[in-house]
């Protein structure tokens, strides 16, 4: 579904991604592991089109998209839950969800919004609250809900568990597992490598802008480099 | 008492125009972080284009409508050809661009039209209405009513339509807007267009009272900017409030002190806000977006 080949990207003259290649097939959950500043967010930004690519290819369903504007990529079916949630803070929970469905031009979103509320009942109680006034966990739920509202083929999740209390982390990973069971294709960026690999089918490790290891989740869990670097073994 | 009422009415009339200019500032600032010093030129264009189309024989409503359309196109062109190509530039560069655009529009207006002052016929004649000992021009009420209608329509648009919410969303978080698939060039361009249209309407409504000329924009932009700062840059309600307040302050100081002070009021307001309450009356302290 997604195939990245020899991708280079950076900020100004500083290159942040060197020759990155990676695939995600339909129905898969793929984990992307890496330390702070490794380039995980930069890669997701490049896939979504909010980060310029200097060379290399991004293919989505056999279409080259690396030069396509961001809004058209959403239309093709790529949604991102960005780092730091990036909600529309002054707008209500419900409006954030409606805007998540912007590309669908659907006239009636009641059923879709009800679907998100079924997944995150707490959001239903807060439907008229400004997104900026939610707690960290609620904001993360809303960010996920907003991305799902576009009915994406591929969801890019950037550290959804970051900064959350352990009980909420479990809840977020449960949701990711639930999405996986429903057949949703996901590229999951996480620092919490153990939890991510427990859900993922496959994974990659990125270090200072390069993919260094890639393989089945079970293989990665057993790999000494992954164990010492990311699993604290 | 009658005197105070008189000053208050003339203050509110001019204040309504400042409010609309400040509202235009706010729309563009929220959508693009640009302080648009060419905002006053939209007011100038609205009035002058109407004057000249009327003189060319078109009926007033048609002339006014075409003037609004022309200003809107100028607003779009400003975004498309001056602001958008410079995206990512720092705030000072962007301000210089808008000042440049303002000088250009003034020069163009001087060449295309002329350097004289012009008026338009008031909508309901010029027999003052007596009220509590004060005399109110019917056109003053037209200006106030027009400003009210614009504010209500704008509010309904952003509160009741998904496109309006997309404009708000773009203002609140441009990255997130792009990530949900909003074409932000469209929403930001739209903010420039609406802002220009509002300025032009203000210009048409107020020309019968204050007259218009190619060079009225500079001072209006400054007054509108002072009003927006007073209300709190970025706050639409603040812009309207700041505009009305600035108009009142001007009229009262002109009436009770000396009319020479009138134009100084805006500058004093800017300084006072900067020293005492930089976030303005309704603004929140600006949080740096990362
Ligand atoms: N806006 C920016 N301007 C300049 N350099 C940046 C910018 N954002 C990131 N970088 C640099 O690019 C590199 C990759 O950063 P990136 O944010 O992609 O890492 P990350 O893997 O997502 O890290 P984290 O786990 O902390 O989120 C880092 O060296 C970082 O310093
Ligand atoms: Mg990151």
Three state DSSP letters for chain B: CHHHHHHHHHHHHHHHHHHHHHHHHHHHHHHHCCCCCCHHHHHHHHHHHHHHHHHCCCCHHHHHHHHHHHHHHHHHHHHHHHHHHHCCCCHHHHHHHHHHHHHHHHHHHHHHCCCCCECCCCCCCCCCEEECCEEECHHHHHHHHHHHHHHHHHHHHHHHCHHHHHHHHHHHCHHHHHHCCCCHHHHHHHHHHHHHHHHHHHHHHHHHHHCECCCCHHHHHHHHHHHHHHHCCCCHHHHHHHHHHHHHHHHHHHHHCCHHHHHHHHHHHHHHHHHHCCCCCCCCCCCCCC
Question: A206: CA distance to ligand 1 center in Å?
Answer: 12
Q: CB of A230 within 8 A of CB of A38?
A: no
Minimum mean pLDDT among B152-156, B251-255, B286-290: which range? B286-290
Count of beta carbons in the 10 Å neighbourhood of residue B21: 31
Which A-chain residues 67-96 have CB contacts (< 8 A) with chain B? 69-75, 79-80, 82, 84, 86-91, 95
Mean pLDDT is lowest, of A76-80, A91-95, B79-83, B230-234, for: B230-234
Ligand number, closest to the Cα atom of A10: 1
Show me where the domains of chain B are located.
2-276
Query: Could you read off the pLDDT of A145-204 as tens digits, one per residue?
Result: 999 999 999 999 999 999 899 999 999 999 999 999 999 999 999 988 889 999 999 999
What tokens appear for A108 in the block?
């009636």
Q: What is the pTM of this model?
A: 0.90
Query: What pLDDT was estimated at residue B290?
Result: 37
Place of tokens 């083929």: A153
Sign of the alpha-carbon dihedral angle for B72, B77, B78, B80: positive
| Among A102, A152, A157, the residue to mutate for chain B (most B Cβ within 10 A) | A102
pLDDT of B261 strictly over 50: yes
Q: Which residues of A touch B236 (CB under 8 A)?
A: none
With bands split at pLDDT 50, 70 and 90, how would you rate the model's confidence at B289? very low
pLDDT per position as a tens digit, B175-194? 999 999 999 999 999 999 99
Helix or strand holding residue A37 (H, E): none
How much of chain B, in percent, has pLDDT values that exceed 90? 71
Determine whether the interchain pair A88/B173 forms a contact, defined as Cβ–Cβ distance below 8 Å: yes
Q: At the topology level of CATH, where does A2-77+152-230 sit?
A: Rossmann fold (3.40.50)
pLDDT for the residue numbered B284: 66
Does the pLDDT at position B118 exceed 80? Answer: yes
Ligand 1: lining residues by beta carbon, under 6 Å? A 11, 14, 16, 34, 36-42, 83, 191
Res. B288 pLDDT band, cuts 50 70 90: very low
Report d(CA B102, CA B80) in Å as an integer. Answer: 15
What is the rounded average pLDDT for all residues in chain B?
A: 91
d(CA A46, CA A41): 9
In the structure, what pLDDT confidence band is assigned to residue B287 with cuts at 50, 70 and 90? very low
Q: Where in chain A is the domain with CATH 3.40.50.300?
A: 2-77+152-230
Tell the CATH topology of B2-276: ABC transporter involved in vitamin B12 uptake, BtuC (1.10.3470)
What is residue B254's predicted lDDT score, i.e. its pLDDT? 86
Grouped pLDDT means (10 residues each) for chain A, 233 residues: 95 92 96 93 96 95 94 96 95 96 89 95 95 94 97 96 91 94 96 91 94 91 84 69
The per-residue b/e assignment along A53-90, b for 16 or more CB within 10 angstroms, e otherwise, is beebebebeeeebbebbbbebbbbbbbbbbbebbbbbe
A87 chain-B contacts, CB cut-off 8 A: 173, 176
CB pair distance less than 8 Å for B173 and A48: no
Q: What's the sign of the alpha-carbon dihedral B253, B258, B259, B262?
A: negative
The pLDDT assigned to A105 comes to 82
Measure in Å the smallest separation between the Cα of B242 and chain A Cα atoms: 22
Distance A156 CA to ligand 1 centre (A): 17
Please determine, for residue B170, whether its predicted confidence score (pLDDT) is greater than 60: yes
Give the chain A residue whose CA is nearest to the CA of B88. Answer: A12
Residues of chain A with Cβ-Cβ distance to B182 below 8 Å are 71, 99, 102
A104 alpha carbon – ligand 2 mean position (Å): 28
Contact status, residue B189 vs residue B76, Cβ threshold 8 Å = yes
């Amino acid at each position: 579904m997604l195939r990245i080949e020899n991708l280079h990207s950076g900020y100004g003259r500083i290159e942040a991604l060197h020759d990155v290649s990676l695939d995600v097939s339909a129905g898969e959950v793929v984990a992307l592991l890496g330390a702070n500043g490794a380039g995980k967010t930069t890669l997701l930004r490049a896939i979504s089109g909010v980060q310029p690519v200097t060379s290399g290819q991004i293919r989505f369903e056999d279409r080259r998209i690396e030069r396509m504007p961001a809004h058209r990529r959403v239309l093709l079916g790529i949604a991102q839950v960005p780092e730091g949630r990036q909600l529309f803070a002054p707008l209500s929970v419900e409006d954030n969800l409606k805007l998540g469905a912007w590309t669908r031009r659907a006239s009636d979103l009641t059923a879709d919004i009800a679907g998100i509320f079924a997944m995150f009942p707490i959001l239903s109680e807060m439907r008229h609250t400004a997104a900026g006034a939610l707690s960290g966990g609620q904001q993360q739920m809303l960010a996920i809900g907003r991305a799902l509202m576009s009915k994406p083929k591929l969801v890019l999740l950037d550290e959804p568990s970051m900064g959350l209390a352990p009980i909420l982390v479990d809840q977020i990973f449960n949701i990711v597992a639930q999405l996986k069971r429903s057949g949703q294709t996901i590229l999951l960026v996480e620092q919490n490598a153990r939890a991510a690999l427990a859900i993922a089918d496959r994974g990659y490790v990125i270090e200072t802008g390069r993919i260094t290891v890639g393989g089945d989740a079970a293989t990665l869990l057993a790999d000494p480099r992954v164990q010492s670097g990311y699993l604290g073994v | 008492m009658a005197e105070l009422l008189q000053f208050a009415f003339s203050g509110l009339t001019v204040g309504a125009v400042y409010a609309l200019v400040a509202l235009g500032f706010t729309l563009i600032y929220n959508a693009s972080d640009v302080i648009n010093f060419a905002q006053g030129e939209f007011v100038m264009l609205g009035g002058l284009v109407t004057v000249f189309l009327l003189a060319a024989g078109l009926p007033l409503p048609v002339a006014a409508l075409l003037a609004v359309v022309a200003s809107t196109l100028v607003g779009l062109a400003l975004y498309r050809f001056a602001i958008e190509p410079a995206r990512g530039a720092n705030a000072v560069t962007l301000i210089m661009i808008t000042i440049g655009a303002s000088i250009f529009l003034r020069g163009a207006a001087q060449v295309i039209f002329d350097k004289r002052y012009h008026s338009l016929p008031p909508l309901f004649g010029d027999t003052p209405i007596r009220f509590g000992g004060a005399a109110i021009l019917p056109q003053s009420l037209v200006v106030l009513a027009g400003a009210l209608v614009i504010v209500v329509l704008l509010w309904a648009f952003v509160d009741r339509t998904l496109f309006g919410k997309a404009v708000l969303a773009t203002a609140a978080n441009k990255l997130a807007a792009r990530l949900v698939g909003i074409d932000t060039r469209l929403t930001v361009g739209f903010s420039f267009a609406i802002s220009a249209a509002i300025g032009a309407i203000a210009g048409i409504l107020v020309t019968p009272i204050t007259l218009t000329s190619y060079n009225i924009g500079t001072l209006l932009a400054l007054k509108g900017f002072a009003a927006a700062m007073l209300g709190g840059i970025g706050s639409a309600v603040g812009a309207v409030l700041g505009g009305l307040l600035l108009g009142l302050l001007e009229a009262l100081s002109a009436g009770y002190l000396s009319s020479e002070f009138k134009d100084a009021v805006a500058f004093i307001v800017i300084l006072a806000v900067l020293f005492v309450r930089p976030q303005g009356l309704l603004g929140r302290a600006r949080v740096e977006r990362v």
